[in-house]
Amino acid sequence: MARLRKTEYTGKMIVDPFNRVHQMPYENFTIERGDLIKITGEYGTRFKFESVTTNPVNGAVWVDCFEMWRGRQGAYRSFSIDRVKRIPKRRPRKVKSSVV
Residues 25-84: tens digit of each pLDDT: 988 888 999 999 999 998 888 999 999 999 999 999 999 999 998 888 899 999 999 999
- The model's pTM is 0.71
Q: At a CB cut-off of 8 Å and minimum separation 6, what does 29 contact?
A: 86
Count of residues making up the chain: 100
Strand partners, 1: none
Residues 20-33: tens digit of each pLDDT: 999 999 888 889 99
Three-class SS of 16-79:
CCCEEECEEEECCEEEECCCEEEECCCCCCEEEEEEEEECCCCCCEEEEEEEEECCEEEEEEEE
